[in-house]
Each structure stands twice: as structure tokens, then as C-alpha cells.
Structure 1
Amino acid sequence: MRAAALYSASGSLLLATLTAAPAEATAEATAGTSSGAAEARGTAVAAQRAAAAGISFGRCPEAEDLPGSMRCGTVTVPLDYAHPDGKRIRLTVSRVPATREDPDNSTREVPGQGALVYNPGGPGASGLHFPLVGMVPEWKRIAAAYDLVGYAPRGVAPSAPLSCQDPADFVEEPRPAPTQPSAAYKKRRAAEAEAYARGCAERAGEALRHYHSLNNARDLEVVRAALGEERLTFMGASYGTYLGALYAELFPARVRRMVFDSVVNPDPGQIWYRNNLDQSAAFEHRWSDFKAWIAAHDAVYGLGDTPKEVQHRYEEAGRRLAAEPAGGTVGPAQLQSALLRAGYYDDYWPHRAEALSAYLKGDPQPLIDQAGTRTEEETAGAENSSSVYTAVECNDAPWPTDFAVWDRDNTRLARRAPFETWDNVWTNLPCAYWRAPRQRPLDVRTGPGELPPTLILAAERDAATPYGGALELRGRLSGSVLVTERGAGTHGVAGGPNACVNGHLEAYLLDGGLPARDASCAPRPEPEPRPLSGPVPQPEQAAAPTV
């Protein structure tokens, strides 16, 4: 999801609604819910087995293209925690041991603090590359003290990869991106969503129902045990914060330290339908920030000196691409998707602005490079990530099963937030036609003394995980402290260019130190305008990137 902060982003993360939870989904949710006692016993059994087996670290899978310095192993977990002796799957784990070298004094050895386990979000993103952040200056002190551990969650290749369709069919042709779609267009997209949901059910079979956030949290407990850690030190970003919150609710006595970076609203009534509409509304504000930045640099990009003029030029580009896709691959939807990524990360702003400017001036190549076709390998990875994202969110909670509900809520929202609203609908609409039973979201809440103090990090104008989610989580986890990057909107703030944020992160992870009360940091500087030169920063790794 960005160059400076550490996540993978696999398309939109969430959607959210302004209305009450759909009544038609209630019985379905109840049917998919169990008391959890069997799963709790199964988790204990799996954790005991994992602790006894440990992890045999060796060479990483070649397909993951990881450096030789990184070591990988596998952890076996039950597909269904209610039946720990039934089918099992293997999760791939990566690790770089703590360097134990003080960055400020190479002759001094730093005491080790065990493993720091990281989840980058999505759902559907892999954390296997995470240990590489130890090479980044902002992470040197943390990498000295901790073994940096990443993993591919269940369903994410190579951990029992999930697939909803042939990757060859996942390639998206140039599409329109209507902000006021016609009835015929809605009908066509609804049919596609239903077919996609059917494909998930047919390709995954009975296993599909076991890909959800509660099982992801249980998997994390088994990974902890396999690493030989008595208590877990964990950092979750984006969707990873929801995973961490569930872990804190299920296994509070197993928590050592937790960092929540860019927080999903964990209110059970928000998971996931309402959260996604909240996201669409927030992206409208972030799109406005980006347009204002482009307008302030009209001398560089020539796209207009007001946000309104920039909007007109964006719409002009969309009309041209609808008439003739750039390079035969980039239509209005691909343009919108490319600019949506700029809503996640400020580092994309100069590159996206330059590509839009160049296209309108007659040079489509930068836009084609940034928004065009993927390689076969990239397409397979994107299909897998999309499958996991869909399965987890659809399985996690009730969704409206009547398209009329989606149509009503999003038509209303699109009047004031047209930029992402309908694109977010098409991403999540398979959940309206989902065949697997639904879980009932946990009411995450810990009282005084039940959980060690935790650190919450958030950017005030984050669109992917709106700031209200951080406030909600802080109120639910007793003893948590919130550090806010004021006026900033980059999704994921840990380990980026903000020294104030990083100071709080280091103090907490290295010494357990937290501010006495909520704190704030001045925003990072806005990016400098510059033409495209060299490769566009990739979001998969911090300074080196799913939900």
C-alpha cells in the first residue's frame, strides 16, 4: 500500500453503510455461529502441537522471490478449529533474526526481545516480505532487538492458496467507471458478482467457510506457540488491526505488546458493510486533498489551478479513455483505480499527477505503465488476494442479500462521495450472493488489567481506515494510547518519514513506554512535485505494499 509505511494493499479494504444492519441477514449470521467452545479447545490442541513441533526454518519458496538472507518455515493449523484432528493446512512463515547490534554503537550488543509478528492487512495480503524492513534506517533499532517475523495468512499463497476463478479470467478489460450507473449497468455488475460468488463456492468447496477473521486470529495464536513465544508481540496494519483486536479479545493473557496501525473500526455493527461505506465517504475527502495539491502545483502539471478545474481534467481523461483505451488496456476504471491508490499514499501523488498530465498532453505511456496490464505472475497474485479478501469479508458478518439495499444506500452516498462509492460496491457485492455460512462479529472489549497497554497509530485523514476506527478501538481496549498524525492521510504511519511517530513506536516496542495520555504528531511534509523519473514507488514494502 505504500512506499513509506509497511503494508500490502489489495484493492479497496472496506465499505460502509449509513443504515441499520440488514434484517434479512440475521438468521444467516446466527446459523453460521457456534458457541466457540469447540474452536477454543481446538486452538489449544493446535497450539500445543505447534509448540512441540516448533518451526524448522530453511530456504524460502522460490516463487516468493525472497532474498537468501531470509529464512522460511511452515506452521500446521486445522482448517476447522472445531475439528483439530481433521484436515490441516500449512502457513508459511518468514523470519530474519534480531541483529543484536546497536545502530548507535556497533560495539554494544542489544538484548533480544523475541519475535515481532506482523500482519499487513488486506485481508488477502502476504506479510512474508516484512522482515526486510530491518534494512530500512527507521527500523534498525527495532530490528536489533526483535526477530522480525512475517507470514502468509490462510488462503494467501503459498499458505493453502484460495482461488475463486481461473487467473486467466481475472484480467480486467478496459471498463467504464460511472458515478451514476444506469440500471442496465447495475444489473450487469450484479450478475458478475453473483457469478464470482458462485465460483468461490465451486472452486473452494466446503473449505470456503473456514476462511474468516476468527480463524485468522486462532492461526496467529498457533504461530505464536510455534515460535516458542510465551506471549505475543504483534503489529497489525489496516485489516491487521482488526485481526489484532480479535486476538486481544480471544487471548488477552497471551498478549505482550500490540501495535495497531491505521485502524479498522471494530464495532460489530460496522463489520463489514458499514465500514465500507464509511471508507467511500472518506476517500472523497482524500481525493479532494489530492486535487488541491495538484492545483497548488499547476505550474508543474498544467491540470488547473483549482480543485474544480483538476476534476474537469480528470473527467476529460475519462471520456477520452472511454472512447479509446490507452494502449488498449487503460479505460476509465483503470484510471480511477490508479488515482485511488494515490488516496492511500502521498508518495504516489507526483507520479499519478504526472501520468494524468502527460496523457492529456498526448503521451499515454506513463499512464499505461502505472495503470496497465499485469504480468501473468502478478495477475495470479492479484486473483489470489482478491479471493481471500472476498472470502474473509463475506464470511465474517451479515451482508444485505437484496441488491435494492445496496442500490439505495450507495445511490444516496454517491451524491456526495462519487469518486469511490460504486467501485467499492462492485468489489464487495459478491457478499450479497455468498453461499457459505456467516460468522457473528465479536464485541471486542477489554476491561482494566485484562490486557497490557497497547499502542494505536492513526493518520487523521486516512481514507482506507477512517480515523473514527482508531477512536473506537481506543475506547474498547482499556489502557490503550492513541498517537495521531495530524492533518495527514497516508495509510500506515509506522516506520515512515515521521520521526515523532517512530519515536513513539520505538519507545513502546523497545521499552514498553507509552505517553501518559493520547498524543499527536505534526504531519509529514507533503510530497514535492516532480515528473516521473525511474520506477514508481511500490506499496508492498516499506522503503523497499493488499486491504
Structure 2
Amino acid sequence: MTGEFADREEPQMRAPRARHWAGIVVTGVVCAMLGPASQPASAETASAEATVARVAATPAGPRPRLTDSRPCAGIAGFTCSYLTVPRDRTGHTPGTLRLPVAVADNTAAPRGTLLMLSGGPGQPGVGLVPRIRQRVSYLLNDYRMVMIDQRGTGEGAIDCERLQAEVGSSDITPPSREAVRECARQLGQGRHHYTTADTVADLEDLRQALDVSRWTIDGVSYGTFVAQHYALTFPGRVSRMVLDSVVPLDIDPLYVAGLRRTGWMLRQACQEQNCGFDPAAALAGVVRRYDNGVGVFDLIVIASIVDPKLTGEGYFPVLPLLRLAAQGEPEPLNQAIAALQGGQDTPPAEYSAGLHVATLCADLVHAPWGNSMAPLWQRDAAVAEARRNLSARQVWPFEPQTAVGNGIVQACRYWPPARANPQPPRHRLTMPVLLINGDRDLSTPLEWAVERAAQMPRGELVIIPGMGHSIQGRNAAGDQAVQHFLLH
């Protein structure tokens, strides 16, 4: 995901027990013309339930296997191959997909197999192996690392040219209605086959193809969402999990928690830099005066990923830009926003905007209009009602229009009815789980991680002060926590 309580104060988030460990706050237990859907709602619901049943059941027929194995080009010590899976997990439509897989060659790793799940949705797996291998190198003498291109990504990426050009890899940048509908027309009925439950079933096929009885899963951002759904569907197949930058099971498309947390983040950075003004109050004034809340939030979310202390080194100086805009000079701020928007430099193989929309719009459980089966004619009124029901206090220093104007809401309000993501058959994760989250992450805000950790009886939440999105390989304390959890 790119992606979170009083107006001016960040509340203290508490959990049943807490301890300090190696300087890290650790709390335990605490991502033809479009018309109505092709089937009526009752048939879509039946299809969703059938998908859950097919995912949870032991598949009939021969065991899945990896084919066309060969050394991975440019990735020493890894073998690349393909996993062939059904395109339609309900069995209604024939056809298959070939998903690239990369597997480390240390087959006798003493602690077994480590499945690494990338984010998005939209990121590939195999192409990220060199980067991820470096980030978790301290684990790879003990674990055999595996990555897969989830359906619709990487080598088989969905390529919706206009949508890709408009939004690239951003959750927040709103696409045009025309780009969304063009992408949906391109996919046709295939749009039904990119839910997280489809990916969960693909991962179970991968586990069987690797001939491992249980594995460890490490997911980042949207990868944490996939990991949780897999573990809830196949709990006996997961030894333990690491969830880095946590996405909840019930994604909030309005980003209320991230909008609220922005003021706290800005004030923390200002205090560290002695910036000499109140950036949260300045932001509140700017977005109301210039009606650019979505763009400003997009800018700050990206900053929370690459420059969470907002130093401006190698990136846009957010605090000075806000100050200038508050003083009546919005042009530099708006130029910075414009420079970040668009995906002309983001090829689909690196991040598929089409897959991102197809998956998120199916996965949403509580969009303003309900789930993905809601007819298009209901959605505009539902967005307007959501706007009316949000108070300024709920999203300060932003305003309610920012919440309903972000890219997830604006893309999914135009995405045609599709089969909803089937929900996993269980609701509590009982295996050991390590959750790690930066306190300045606005893409997957800390509130989400606190919420999920509280639902895990063997969950342990490690909060990394001063960090934003995606911790592993970028923060020594976070790596120490993962190393302790997985190697001791």
C-alpha cells in the first residue's frame, strides 16, 4: 500500500502489555461498455463462497510442480522456473497462468523455506530477489528463500497503458474515470480472477510444488495482507510470520488513520529541525485555501517512505514547501506534487497499476458503497454520503474531501462490479507473528498494526521510532527484531 486523534494531538495507543527490548518498543498480544455485473449478486456470492471452498480444500489431481527450471539470470544461487495455475479458481472459465518463481539453491537450509511476499498489489517477486536477498541476508544461511510473481505482476503484468501513465505506483493519485473504465474493458471478465484469494490458492500450489509441509512467511505492505489471508486459510502450513508495515484485513479506502497521523508526523519533524512554525496548522490552512489536499497527502505519503524525518535531503523539502504555501506562495508545493504524479517512468513489469486496481477493488470489504459487487449507479451517491458523514475533526489537518478524493476511492467507484474477494474461513492467527511498523508510516499507519496485533494471541509488535514504510534492510533495530524472532 502507498499506501493514518483529537485535531491537534496524537493519542497514546496502548495495548495489554508492553516491554522495552534493545531500545525498541515491543508490544505483545497487543496493503463492450461497462454495465452491471455479468451475474446477479446471489450468483456472485455463491461464486465467492465456492472460491473459499476450493482454496481450503485439498486439490484433486496431480501435485502442482515447477517447470522449465534453470539458473536465474543475474541471480547467483537461485533457480528460476514456472508454476502453472488455473486462471479461474472457480472452474467456470478454462485457461492457465504461468507464474515465474525463484528459489534459493540451499535445499538443506536448517530452518526450512522462507516465502517473501512483495507489496502493492502490483509489485513482482522474482525481479526483486537481488534487492530482497541483500536486505535479509542475515537469514539466508538458515532459510531457503522463495519469491513468486503473483498473478498479474512481473513477467505477466497487466498492462493498462492509460491507467499506468496516470497513476504509476501511487495509491493516492486519483485516476480518470476513462482510464479506469478502459482498463476494465481490456480485462473483460478476466477482472474476476485477481483477488487476494486467488493469490492465496496460487501460493498453496507453490508450497505443494516445493514439497514442503510448512514454511515461514515474511510479507511487506500488501504482502502482509496476502500473508494473513494465507495463514487464516491454511494455518497448519505456516510456522511463523513476519508482517512488515501492516495492512489490516479490513482496508480503509478513506485512509482516515493516515490523514490523522500526518499532523503528528509533521510536528515531530519540525521539532527535530526547529522549523519555527506549526506545520500541521499550516497544512490545514493550505488544503482549505487551495483545495489540493489529495496532492499534498500524496507528496507526504511518499516522503514518509523515502524521507520520514522530512529532512529534504535528496527529496522535496516538505516543511519549507508547506511554509511557503501557508504564506501565499503555493506554486513550489504544487510543482513538487506535479513532479511526483504520473507513471510514465514506471513500467507495468515493475508495478502494475492495472493489477493494483483490479485486486484492491475486489478486496475492499467496506468501501462507501459496500463491496465490489455493488452496482455502479449506487457508488457516486455513496461517496457523497461518506463525504457528508466525515467530520473535519476525524481527518484533521486534512478535510473530508481529501478522504473521498484519494486514488483508491476514485478508481474503485468506476471499476465495474466484480466478484468480491472471498474472506478466509478463520479470523484469528494463532501461530507466532512478528509485526514491525514505523511510527511515521503514513502508507500503512501504526494504528493499523496496533489493531492487528491486538487480535493475535501470539503476536508481538515492534514499533520503530522515526521510520516510515518498509523496515527490513533499512533499519538496524527492525533487522535485530526479525533476526531474534526467526533465528532464536
Shorter chain as denominator, the TM-score bin is 0.7 to 0.9
The structure 2 residue matched to 1:286, chosen from 251, 262, 268, is 262
* Secondary structure at 1:150 match in 2: strand
Q: Does the C-alpha gap of structure 1 residues 348 and 461 become closer, same or farther in structure 2, counting only changes over 3 Å?
A: closer
Determine the C-alpha separation between the residues in 1 that align with 2:454 and 2:280. 38
Determine the C-alpha separation between the residues in 1 that align with 2:186 and 2:86. 20
* Secondary structure at 2:64 match in 1: helix
The structure 1 residue matched to 2:304, chosen from 328, 331, 343, is 343
* Secondary structure at 1:241 match in 2: helix
Residues 1:121 and 2:119 are matched in the alignment: yes
Per-residue CA deviation, residues 306-365 of structure 1 (Å, 9 max, x unaligned), is 32575389669x96xx9xxxxxxxx98655422221234544722345376489599969
* Secondary structure at 2:353 match in 1: helix
Residues 1:307 and 2:264 are matched in the alignment: no
Report the AA paired with residue 494 of structure 1.
Q
Mapping of 1:246-325 within 5 angstroms?
A: 246-266=229-249, 270=250, 272=251, 275-277=252-254, 279-294=255-270, 296-298=272-274, 304-308=276-280, 310-311=282-283
The structure 1 residue matched to 2:85, chosen from 67, 77, 81, is 77
C-alpha deviation, 1:127, in angstroms? 2.8
TM-score (norm 1): 0.65
Conservation of the 8 A alpha-carbon contact between 1:95 and 1:147? yes
Determine the C-alpha separation between the residues in 2 that align with 1:154 and 1:413. 36
What's the counterpart of residue 185 of structure 1? none
* Secondary structure at 1:91 match in 2: strand
Determine the C-alpha separation between the residues in 2 that align with 1:409 and 1:28. 28
Per-residue CA deviation, residues 262-314 of structure 1 (Å, 9 max, x unaligned), is 22222xxx3x4xx223x33333323431244135425xxxx643325753896
Conservation of the 8 A alpha-carbon contact between 1:42 and 1:84? no
Aligned pair count reads 427
Mapping of 1:79-94 within 5 angstroms?
A: 79-83=87-91, 86-94=94-102
Q: Gaps (5+ residues) in structure 1?
A: 1-8, 14-24, 61-65, 101-109, 178-188, 323-330, 512-547
Report the AA paired with residue 310 of structure 2.
W
The structure 1 residue matched to 2:147, chosen from 147, 150, 157, is 150
C-alpha deviation, 1:79, in angstroms? 0.8
> Which sits farther off after the overlay, 81-90 or 420-429?
420-429
Report the AA paired with residue 379 of structure 2.
D
Conservation of the 8 A alpha-carbon contact between 2:449 and 2:461? no
Residues 1:395 and 2:395 are matched in the alignment: no
Determine the C-alpha separation between the residues in 2 that align with 1:420 and 1:142. 44
What's the counterpart of residue 15 of structure 2? none
Q: Percent identity?
A: 22
Q: Does the C-alpha gap of structure 1 residues 212 and 290 become closer, same or farther in structure 2, counting only changes over 3 Å?
A: same
What's the counterpart of residue 12 of structure 1? 3
Q: Does the C-alpha gap of structure 1 residues 364 and 36 become closer, same or farther in structure 2, counting only changes over 3 Å?
A: closer
Residues 1:354 and 2:317 are matched in the alignment: yes
Conservation of the 8 A alpha-carbon contact between 1:454 and 1:481? yes
Determine the C-alpha separation between the residues in 1 that align with 2:192 and 2:141. 40
C-alpha deviation, 1:34, in angstroms? 2.5
C-alpha deviation, 1:77, in angstroms? 1.0
What's the counterpart of residue 71 of structure 2? 58
What's the counterpart of residue 215 of structure 2? 232
Q: Does the C-alpha gap of structure 1 residues 443 and 465 become closer, same or farther in structure 2, counting only changes over 3 Å?
A: farther
RMSD: 4.2
* Secondary structure at 1:342 match in 2: helix
Determine the C-alpha separation between the residues in 2 that align with 1:228 and 1:289. 46
* Secondary structure at 1:81 match in 2: coil
What's the counterpart of residue 471 of structure 2? 493
Conservation of the 8 A alpha-carbon contact between 1:92 and 1:151? yes
Q: Does the C-alpha gap of structure 1 residues 486 and 410 become closer, same or farther in structure 2, counting only changes over 3 Å?
A: farther
The structure 2 residue matched to 1:481, chosen from 439, 443, 459, is 459
TM-score (norm 2): 0.72
Report the AA paired with residue 214 of structure 2.
R
Report the AA paired with residue 460 of structure 2.
L
Determine the C-alpha separation between the residues in 2 that align with 1:154 and 1:41. 19
